[in-house]
C-alpha cells in the first residue's frame, strides 16, 4: 500500500470518528455547550471528508463540503444566540457556504461531463470512485442533517 492511500485511509477514519462522536455527544450529555462542541466536531468532519475525497479525485469535493460546513457553522451560532452579531455572522457564513457549495457542484458536474465524454476511465476504477462518493455523501449528509435537527430540537423543547 502506498503512502497516499494510507494517508487517505487514516484521514477517512478520523473524519468518520469526528462525525460519529459529534453526533453522539449531544445525545449522551444533553447540554447546550456539549451540543455546540459536538456540532463543531461534525463541521470539522464534514470539511475533512471533502478534503480527503479531493486527495484522490479533484472534483470539487472540498468546495462542496466546506460550503456545507460553513452553513452548519452559521446555524450553530444563530439558534442559541439570536442577536445582531450572530445574524451578521450567519449571513456571512451563509454567503461563503452557498458560494462554496454551488461552485463545488458546478465543478463536480463539469468534471463528470468531461469523464463521460472521454470514456478512457477503467470501469473498475470508476465504480470504486462512485462507491466512495456515495458512501461519503451519505455519511456527511447524515451528520449535517443530524446536527441541524439536534440544534433545532434542543431549542424547540425549551
pLDDT over 70, % of the chain: 74
Q: What is the pLDDT of residue 56?
A: 77
24 dihedral zone (left: phi>0; alpha: psi -120 to 50; beta): alpha
For residue 16, pLDDT over 70 is answered with yes
pLDDT, tens digit, for every residue of 23-66? Answer: 888 878 878 888 888 888 888 888 888 888 888 777 778 888 88
Q: 156 burial class (0-12, 13-18, 19+ CB within 10 angstroms)?
A: exposed
- Domain ranges for the chain: 3-157
For residue 110, pLDDT over 80 is answered with no
Q: What is the pLDDT of residue 6?
A: 74
Amino acid at each position: 500500500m502506498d503512502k497516499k492511500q494510507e494517508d487517505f485511509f487514516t484521514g477517512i477514519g478520523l473524519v468518520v470518528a469526528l462525525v460519529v462522536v459529534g453526533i453522539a455527544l449531544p445525545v449522551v450529555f444533553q447540554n447546550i455547550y456539549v451540543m455546540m462542541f459536538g456540532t463543531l466536531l461534525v463541521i470539522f468532519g464534514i470539511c475533512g471528508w471533502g478534503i480527503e475525497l479531493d486527495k484522490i479525485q479533484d472534483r470539487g469535493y472540498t468546495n462542496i463540503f466546506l460550503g456545507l460546513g460553513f452553513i452548519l457553522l452559521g446555524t450553530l451560532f444563530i439558534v442559541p444566540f439570536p442577536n445582531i452579531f450572530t445574524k451578521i455572522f450567519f449571513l456571512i457564513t451563509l454567503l461563503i457556504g452557498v458560494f462554496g457549495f454551488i461552485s463545488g457542484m458546478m465543478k463536480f458536474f463539469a468534471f463528470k461531463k468531461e469523464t463521460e465524454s472521454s470514456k478512457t476511465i477503467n470501469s473498475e476504477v470508476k465504480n470504486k470512485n462512485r462507491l466512495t462518493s456515495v458512501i461519503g455523501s451519505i455519511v456527511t449528509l447524515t451528520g449535517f442533517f443530524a446536527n441541524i435537527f439536534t440544534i433545532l430540537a434542543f431549542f424547540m423543547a425549551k
